[in-house]
Amino acid sequence: MNFLKIPWLELQLLLPLVGAVVAGSFSSAVRASRWTLGFMIVGMFISLGGLAANVIVQEPGRLVLGQFRLDGLVLPMLPVLSVLHFLSHLGTSKSRMTSQHCVAGLVSMGLTSAAVSCQSPWLFVGILYGMILLPLWDLKAQAQPIRGFVVYMIPVLALLALGWWSYDPLSRIWSMGFLGLALTIFGGIAPFHGWLPGLFQRASLGTAMLLVLPMVEVVGVLRFLIPQAPEWVLKVASVGCLVTAVYSAGMGIIQSDPRRFLAFLVLSQTSLVMFAVMMQSATSITAALCLWISVSISLAGLGFSIRALEDRFGRLSLREHHGHYDQVPGLAIGFLMAGLASVGFPGTIGFVPMELLVSSSAQQGLEFSIPLAFTSVLNGIAILRAYFALFTGKRPVTSVSLRMTLSERWGIVLIALLIFGAGWFSPSIVESRHRIAEQLLIGVGGRAAPAAELPIP
């Protein structure tokens, strides 16, 4: 069969849904988990195949299915999203694995792929509806209160529908305002961030991360908001995103619950991605697209380590030192490695994107670059504080073996390869993301910066 004629897009969208039906047909959680793992591995290869086919043909428009298209904006993200779902499933312990959990993971994988490749505003709204229902399902299954989540998500759903229903070229400001407010709440931008720490605490950690880390609101802003919204609206939104990033970084330092620490770190880093998108320069959007990749991978690795610790020791506190390094040194290394990568430590996948973000903010002035640097410092302090609390101090002795399982070892190895190996491909990734950024800006009035403006490493 001709490699270029394989229906990559159809497989990318339909395989997870087929997998969900198959996994749901098993009463045994073990069998459902194995089949789910297999479907996710095949999904990763399909996403890589679609990316390779696009590189060979160099015609993204070929990969089209109705209102879905694999263009240059999302093609590099599909393998990342597949890895994110794979790590989420791999990090779920056998004691918590159920057939319903497997089905939810595969459905989330299909919805996320559909959201980032969707070209229709109404269809995008419908997919977001489905993504919001999955955490509700998880909260109900664990008999956790849903009021805090519902209070924020009902306005999101209403504003999304109202934004597209009221669209009119003569009153564009209203529809764009509704849409922008909906994506702001969904992205957790202050003061609409209250639902996110609560979701991380009450829902399973995997479910919370699969809703937040794909950052589908970035696609909504780039595809449906930036081409239509007035420039001053985006400037105001960028200030809100930067304030959220600084505030969340500070909140992360003082948390006593590892899940709340992770929630505020995730909120701070995703807000930086949105901030970079809203600044509307070629360099900043390039930084945003690169950060989108690096933040998703590194924070997925951090969540993987925290979940593995909870499976062994239960819910921990950051107010005391637990000294778990001797028992699980691999998880300690994975935690520190992923945490430092998320804040742009040299040599990791996050280093070049953070450098690009600093460069773009410096072009805007000190009022942007100083808070940005302050955010990185605070996030770094929060990560080191959490590491020392969890892995250093007293050395507890247990009567049972707490060694890493085979799946956890494979997960840490995969995270390490992605965090350090992706650095070798940074120049080509930055170059391709910069081309996409220029194309996006040309679509909103030719504000693209010349290629010489971009400091390609």
Instruction: Report yes or no on 400 lying in a domain.
Output: yes
The answer to whether residues 245 and 105 belong to one domain is no
The answer to whether residues 95 and 234 belong to one domain is no
Which has the closest alpha carbon to 338: 298, 290, 382?
Answer: 298
Instruction: Report yes or no on 194 lying in a domain.
Output: no
The answer to whether residues 434 and 310 belong to one domain is yes
The answer to whether residues 256 and 389 belong to one domain is yes
58 — pLDDT class (breaks 50, 70, 90): low
Print the domain residue range for 308.
Answer: 226-457
Three-point CA angle 305, 309, 314, nearest 5°? 145
Region 151-156 average pLDDT: 90
Q: Which residue has the tokens 């909260």?
A: 139
Instruction: Report yes or no on 158 lying in a domain.
Output: no
The answer to whether residues 111 and 239 belong to one domain is no
The answer to whether residues 409 and 266 belong to one domain is yes
Whether 447 shows a pLDDT value over 50: the answer reads: no
Domain limit, last residue, from 71, 86, 119: 119
Entry pTM: 0.89
For 331-377, write each residue's pLDDT tens digit.
Answer: 999 999 999 999 988 888 888 888 888 888 887 777 888 899 899 99
d(CA 352, CA 358): 10
Q: Answer whether 201's CB lies under 8 Å from 258's CB.
A: no
The answer to whether residues 250 and 394 belong to one domain is yes
For 193-232, write each residue's pLDDT tens digit.
Answer: 889 999 999 988 889 999 999 999 888 888 877 777 777 7
Instruction: Report yes or no on 259 lying in a domain.
Output: yes
Q: How many CA atoms lie within 13 Å of 406's alpha carbon, on the beta-carbon side? A: 0
Instruction: Report yes or no on 220 lying in a domain.
Output: no
Q: Answer whether 206's CB lies under 8 Å from 86's CB.
A: no
Instruction: Report yes or no on 361 lying in a domain.
Output: yes
pLDDT at 295: 92
Region 429-433 average pLDDT: 82
Domain limit, last residue, from 119, 152, 178: 119
Instruction: Report yes or no on 319 lying in a domain.
Output: yes
User: 56: alpha, beta or left, given left = phi > 0 and alpha = psi -120 to 50?
Assistant: alpha
Cis preceding linkage at 121, omega within 30:
no
Number of CB atoms found within 10 A of residue 254's CB:
12
Q: How many domains does the chain have?
A: 2
pLDDT at 379: 94
Domain limit, last residue, from 89, 119, 149: 119
For 237-290, write each residue's pLDDT tens digit.
Answer: 888 999 999 999 999 999 999 999 999 999 999 999 999 988 878 888 888 998
Instruction: Report yes or no on 112 lying in a domain.
Output: yes
